[in-house]
Amino acid sequence: MSSYQKTTVTATARTELHDLLALTGAEISINSLPAGAGIPFVHAHRQNEEIYGILAGKGKAVIDGENVALAAGDWLRVAPAAKRQFFAAESEGISYLCIQVKANSLEGYTQDDGIIVED
């Protein structure tokens, strides 16, 4: 079995990478909303925080009733219980990456988790 998975993603409204990359510790999705569109529901999570990276365009998130303006280059972390909904701007669409992970599960990162392997 290979120690990596690779996939190619084409432009769609939503692509979930969990199955495509055989993810075991996170869910990642790539999302696009056309101008004036919004996610048709409000949602929250039981355990998972979400990290959103805005790839292109503009829009807003409504988080616990607060409007948060979003534009390309912005990153946003949302706590599990927060109620959230996303919208594209009226004048342009928005594309964003969503990374979902269990809150408080990170035990080591970057240099703390990495090891140098000699060939």
Q: In CATH, what number is assigned to the domain containing residue 42? A: 2.60.120.10
8 Å CB contact between 57 and 72: yes
Cα-Cα-Cα-Cα dihedral sign, residues 107, 46, 85, 98: positive
Residue 1: the pLDDT is: 57
pLDDT digits (tens, 9 = 90+) for 63-74: 999 999 999 999
Quickly list DSSP for 35-67: TT-B-SS-B--SSEEEEEEEEEEEEEEEETTEE
**Domain total in the chain:** 1
Which residues of the chain fall short of a pLDDT of 70? 1
Q: Which domain holds residue 68?
A: 26-104
Residue 112: the pLDDT is: 78
Cα-Cα-Cα-Cα dihedral sign, residues 61, 62, 64, 67: positive
